[in-house]
Structure 1
């Protein structure tokens, strides 16, 4: 046999079955082929292996010594192919030792990460989580495996990226419960007149800026922050207003005893999704992480 020419899979299956049943007729029945076809296949296999393999006797097709020697390797190949076809790397969260890197906004550090961490520590004590920024490198990081997931509003991600919607976000205003001038509902006139804290970060911030331009509202910006760190304490100790997505707004309000008001200007809602690359769609660990995120946050819809 030429080493470059390997027997077809069907020939190996024929060899395996014929070794057991010793009958070309029964092999043909079990493989759903005609007897002449099985005879042709057997001829090809004999030519490949340069041996008769089976000799017709009164008791059936008896294997030659060469067939006896080859049946073990043949069955190992077939079993390996069966395992290959059903291959799936198992992921047991209870025993796994692995790092998962998740790209997210700093708002998600406050709203999503604590809950994720609590569940991971309970279910998968050997798992290490690492939070990374969402930026222009996020798509490449997902493709290369440097990052496992990206969670947020990331409409610029391109092809090859799967996504699953977790929940939608509208916009609210956050302020001191004892604000000296705002009582009850926050109206547009009061919104224009008060001082504001602006958060420069956040993947949905552009939607707010577009709404302000569209409604011709110019805010009196007193403070601009790069992220949400410290925002709750600032609102609690001043008379400033912050406009931000509902989930982070309600979370900060609960922790800092602040009041939450509907935003008096119409701002487009956006969807928070988890994103992953097609290369890792079937990878067991990535699937486990995605399922965990979906279970934890899809209820926020």
Structure 2
């Protein structure tokens, strides 16, 4: 089998042009080649295929039977290559189907996910979303394509990843409406005296609370430990336990579960919620649309 490396595209273009013009001079002119270059290239083609390919008859270069058989193959190959080089990837959210794998924290599922799904339903009806919980493996998942986009507080990504700020959030406390001891406001003392619902997980943002309390020499009394923030409001609403959680999630959960949002009596830094992706996805049209849409959602909310 003769190797493709022995033939370059210019030889095939010349072959196609001679087949169409039946004239070496015109083929040379159309391809901006000199006559000696055309003669040399035709010699290489003849040697490769073991056939004269073209013979001069009455002033024209007439293709041999082998050249006639080859012409359709060569013309199709050139057309395919031209179409490949002209390809411009596109994405139409109104009609294209796509599955996006989005990693987010439990707080993201409360605060972020509903907005995304509502927007997709209106402008991209064929888009599907597979929500994955952010873990310590998120960098590898983004790199290997197991996750398309990460939403949340993800501080440990290196230069191979791109991050865009969506919004800033802080922390607040949840307390039941008729709590017997916590009335108008929480004090530092009551914050330490009351038992807490503690979220204990290896997730990306959950450790912020405990780390900053330790820095201030403060400690919470543990009433119960849960693996995520989603069930916290239910526990608070049915007990005298209090809980500390991100501010936006606190407001949404309070509205749904009939509990109060109270200002933290201790210092707690805010944090940035970002969308993060691997650099290899930077120019994918569908991924660009996803990032732009998510950024617009939270730029207007």
Residue number in structure 2 paired with 1:231 = 232
Structure 1: gaps of 5 or more residues: none
Note the aligned Cα RMSD (angstroms).
3.6
Using the alignment, how far apart are the partners of 1:116 and 1:13 within structure 2?
50
Using the alignment, how far apart are the partners of 2:80 and 2:137 within structure 1?
39
Q: Number of matched residues?
A: 299
Using the alignment, how far apart are the partners of 2:52 and 2:273 within structure 1?
66
Distance 1:191 1:20, change over 3 A: same
Residue number in structure 1 paired with 2:114 = 114
- Give matches, 1:198-213, under 5 Å: 198-201=198-201, 202-213=203-214
1:174 correspondence with 2:189:
no
Distance 1:36 1:273, change over 3 A: farther
1:258 to partner: Cα distance: 4.3
Using the alignment, how far apart are the partners of 2:87 and 2:137 within structure 1?
32
Residue number in structure 2 paired with 1:153 = 153
Q: 1:130-167 CA deviation, whole Å, 9 max, x = no partner?
A: 33222244444444444443322233346754444333
1:295 to partner: Cα distance: 3.6
Structure 2: gaps of 5 or more residues: none
Using the alignment, how far apart are the partners of 2:232 and 2:148 within structure 1?
29
Q: 1:208-241 CA deviation, whole Å, 9 max, x = no partner?
A: 2221122222233333322123322333455544
CA contact (8 A) 1:96 1:126 kept: yes
Distance 1:139 1:45, change over 3 A: same
CA contact (8 A) 1:174 1:249 kept: yes
Using the alignment, how far apart are the partners of 1:31 and 1:54 within structure 2?
18
- Give matches, 1:243-282, under 5 Å: 243-277=244-278
Using the alignment, how far apart are the partners of 1:25 and 1:257 within structure 2?
87
Using the alignment, how far apart are the partners of 1:6 and 1:277 within structure 2?
38
TM (norm. structure 2) is 0.77
Q: Secondary structure at the match of 1:218?
A: coil
Using the alignment, how far apart are the partners of 2:246 and 2:223 within structure 1?
20
Residue number in structure 2 paired with 1:102 = 102
Q: Secondary structure at the match of 1:156?
A: coil
Distance 1:97 1:292, change over 3 A: same
Residue number in structure 2 paired with 1:47 = 47
Residue number in structure 2 paired with 1:76 = 76
